[in-house]
Amino acid sequence: MSLIARDPEKQTHALPLLSDKEIKLLENEIDAMNEELPELTNFILPGGHTVVSQCHIARTVCRRAERSLIRLNQISPVEDIIIRLINRLSDYLFVLARKVGKDFGVSETPWITKTP
């Protein structure tokens, strides 16, 4: 958040920098968790366990932050890496929810559309 809220012209001290290394770490963790999960063939409904639901809530907040950053970027430049990291973080949280559900023995509920 400090990287987003800062004013580069008034910045008085160095802030942590983000790099592709952080994004790659998230992607590696996503891949490792996905290896243990069944292939996703449908959308799934969040829930089944409190921790699974909390992961989905965190993912939703992350997606909302991503949309806000994209809107902010239209007014004031936001570093691309920040938006990419938030995007990958939300993907990580989705896969984490699935992995936690599997670890707790919770079955996934597919989202089935009703046709008239």
Task: Give the pLDDT score at 76.
Answer: 86
Return averaged pLDDT per consecutive 10 residues of the chain, 116 residues in all: 61 73 96 95 90 96 95 90 94 97 92 80
112 contacts 42 by C-beta, under 8 angstroms: yes
Residue 67 CB neighbour total at 10 angstroms: 10
Task: Give the pLDDT score at 112.
Answer: 84
Full-model pTM: 0.85
Going along the chain from its start, the domains and CATH numbers come out as 50-106 (1.20.1200.10)
Task: Give the pLDDT score at 5.
Answer: 59
Task: Give the pLDDT score at 49.
Answer: 93
Amino acid at 90: S
